[in-house]
Structure formats: structure tokens, C-alpha cells
Amino acid sequence: MRIIRLVLPLLIMLAGALPGGPATADDYRRPDHDRARTALREGRVLPLEEIMVRANADFPGEVLDVEFEEEHGRFLYEIKKITTDGHIMKLEYDAATGALLKTEGRDRAGR
């Protein structure tokens, strides 16, 4: 019985890695990923590295999450950071111009 408990999770993981295996979260994001790559290749958006330089200069700290989104026909980089003074910041940048569009923030206590 112990062998089954060890082998079964391994088999499930391997099944997901095979072609035709179970869908993963990345499978559902693939069209967005391809759209982002195309927009970058066509010069319609700035590279993430350039946006991160701006975000780190304005809000030093550690990056928690980065998203690339399209809203109302406009590409956006949304960056979530924890700043060096302990604030969690959500920053929204225009992906085409690099302009900071919006900031939201709170401290560790949620204020």
C-alpha cells in the first residue's frame, strides 16, 4: 500500500507532462502569451525589462507578480511589489509608452 501512495502522485504528475495530458493553467494563458510576444516583436509594446527599470527606480523593493493585460484595446503591465518600507504596491504601466497610469498600495497591516 505504501508503494501505491508514492507511485500514484508520480504517475499523475507524469501524465500531465505528456502530450494530450491534463490541461494546465499555462495552457489557458497561451493565447495571451502569444499576443504579448507578437506585440513586442512588432514594436507595439516596450520590453518588460524597460518597465521594470522604471518600477524599481520609483518603487524600490521586491517583485511579487507581473501581468501583461489588454484592456479596452490598450496593453498594460501590472506589477505587484513589496517596497523596502513594507508597502504592497500595485502599479499599472502603459505597455506602449511606459507611462505609469495607476498606483494602489497598502502596508503589511492592510492599511
Mean pLDDT, rounded, for 8-23: 42
- In this structure, what are the phi and psi dihedrals at residue 82, rounded to the nearest 5 degrees? -110, 120
Q: Does residue 78 contact residue 31 with C-beta atoms inside 8 Å?
A: no
Predicted local distance difference test score (pLDDT) of residue 108: 57
Q: What percent of the chain has pLDDT over 70?
A: 67
pLDDT above 80: residue 40? yes
Mean pLDDT of 52-79: 92
Domains of the chain: 29-106 (3.10.450.40)
DSSP 4-48: HHHHHHHHHHHHHHSTT----HHHHHHHHHHHHHHHHHTTSS--H
Predicted TM-score of the model (pTM): 0.66
pLDDT of residue 100: 96
Whether 32 and 77 have beta carbons less than 8 Å apart is answered as no
| 19's grid cell | 502530450
Query: What is the pLDDT confidence band of residue 77, given thresholds at 50, 70 and 90?
Result: very high
In angstroms, the CA 46 to CA 51 distance is 7
